[in-house]
Amino acid sequence: MDSNILPIYLYGADVLRETAREADLSEREHIATLVEEMKNTLKSADGCGLAAPQVGVSERILIVDGTVVADVYDYLKDFRRTMINPVLLEESKEQCTYSEGCLSVPGIYAEVRRPSKIKVEYYNEDLEKVTEEFDKFACRMIQHEMEHLEGHLFVDNVAPIRRKMITRKLQNIAKGRISARYKTRQ
């Protein structure tokens, strides 16, 4: 497997606003390589989730790794998922609010309200179909990454007043006036 670390595309990149296409499950080698590269990229950026569009690939693949936030959420100490072609089956009416950030929007954090529980059907790394329910912060990470597959970013969900407050920072990111501790691309 190629152990490359891919650049993370930043706010303003067209690929982040596209609706990602389904991954072709017959392309096992491509999927395995991409997932491995995404894992290496996520680890090097010290993040807890990454969707394929964030590395410039408009396919419905995401990874989440709760182990990096296990010091805060101890129930995530062994939580890792690779989701290929995930589909949201159900979401709870109850919602909760957490502060979110994103590797594609460095330096910006904001409170986002989302459903507290979801049920998702997806293919795992072995290309087996899985249906699973998630809650708490695991649910949050997955919803955040699934949004990337639809061409949305967490900043699209913030309150209008907060959005106005971060507009200049977003413009600076889009113009490349930002530094991140990981490899990036406009």
Annotated binding site for Fe cation: 102, 144, 148
Q: Taken in order 122, 123, 129, 135, is the CA torsion positive or negative? A: negative
Instruction: Give the active site residue among 37, 59, 100, 145.
Output: 145
Identify whether the C-beta of residue 85 lies closer than 8 Å to the C-beta of residue 22. Answer: yes
Q: Tell me which residue has tokens 């969707």.
A: 51
Contacts of 147 (CB under 8 A, 6+ apart): 153, 154, 156
- Using DSSP's 3-state secondary structure scheme, residue 95 falls into strand
Please choose, from the candidates 24, 18, 54, 20, the residue with its C-alpha nearest in 3D space to the C-alpha of residue 37: 54
Residue 121 amino acid letter: E
**Residue 27 falls in the annotated catalytic set:** no
Rounded to whole angstroms, how far apart are CA atoms 161 and 135? 28
Rounded to whole angstroms, how far apart are CA atoms 109 and 100? 5
Residues labelled catalytic: 145
